[in-house]
Structure 1
């Protein structure tokens, strides 16, 4: 449970394990339920397009996301994959929403084992493919 008193739903952990171990999903979007008491799965997707993922990020509300990011640094090393945790908190989101998401993040983040990189996004430039690739390939976030 987080500082805000928000719990992580079992379905959120199951979906994450399906992504991580079963490669069942490309990405998962997590949101707070209507009562703001639990972090639940908002949507899962098998769409391989990073642009499809970006289109799902709301322009004016917060959410969390986990993305199985595949990339290639050079042809000799082949493809790599890292699981990325996104905290999406646009500048124009309601203050209350930003506060609850910020204080609830740790509960979800700690529950998800196997995350390689954390990315905080407040606008689309911070979560562009190029920016994410740069952070993932340097091993920094």
Structure 2
């Protein structure tokens, strides 16, 4: 289960919650955290389907790295409702260097566990993952 390169395991709950978001739309977003002592990625928080993008961004800590998945609903120029699943690697400049390294080295493997991600964003400050950025990347 653990990857020799990064040593991080992915808790089964991470995949289960993602499948629920993707298939059943049970959640609006999921925030994942690397639990360094247990050497695994765990689910830190899930957002209700009615939660807004602001609720989602507020759930990311200002000075710690996280992975997150956000289910973004939008309407195309042709007035067609659509949805995109975003994977966001949140690595603020103020995070510890060790933390940034662990998140960076574990990202690709973790992302592979979540089958169905459509757009990936890397963000070091809130402006890099603002709603305008999400909207422009979704279409």
TM range (shorter): over 0.9
User: How far apart in 2 are the matches of 1:116 and 1:34?
Assistant: 28
Deviations 1:30-79 (A, max 9, x none): 001141510000011114310110111111000000010111232x3321
User: How far apart in 2 are the matches of 1:41 and 1:12?
Assistant: 6
SS of 1:4's equivalent in the other structure is coil
Gaps of 5+ in 2: none
Equivalent residue number for residue 99 of structure 1: 101
Equivalent residue number for residue 130 of structure 2: 128
1:53 pairs with one of 38, 52, 56: 56
State the TM-score, normalizing by the size of structure 2. 0.93
Which runs of structure 1 show a deviation greater than 2 angstroms over 4 or more consecutive aligned residues?
none
Query: What's the Cα RMSD here?
Result: 1.2
Residue 64 of structure 1 pairs with residue 67 of structure 2: yes
Is the Cα–Cα contact under 8 Å of residues 29 and 66 in structure 1 kept in the other structure?
Answer: yes
Equivalent residue number for residue 111 of structure 1: 113
User: How far apart in 2 are the matches of 1:64 and 1:23?
Assistant: 19
Number of matched pairs: 136
Q: Give 1:132 deviation, angstroms.
A: 1.2
Equivalent residue number for residue 43 of structure 1: 45
1:16 pairs with one of 18, 37, 48: 18
Is the Cα–Cα contact under 8 Å of residues 30 and 41 in structure 1 kept in the other structure?
Answer: yes
Equivalent residue number for residue 86 of structure 2: 84
Equivalent residue number for residue 4 of structure 1: 6
State the TM-score, normalizing by the size of structure 1. 0.92
Deviations 1:86-136 (A, max 9, x none): 000000100000000000111210011110000000000000000111112
Gaps of 5+ in 1: none
Q: Give 1:15 deviation, angstroms.
A: 0.5
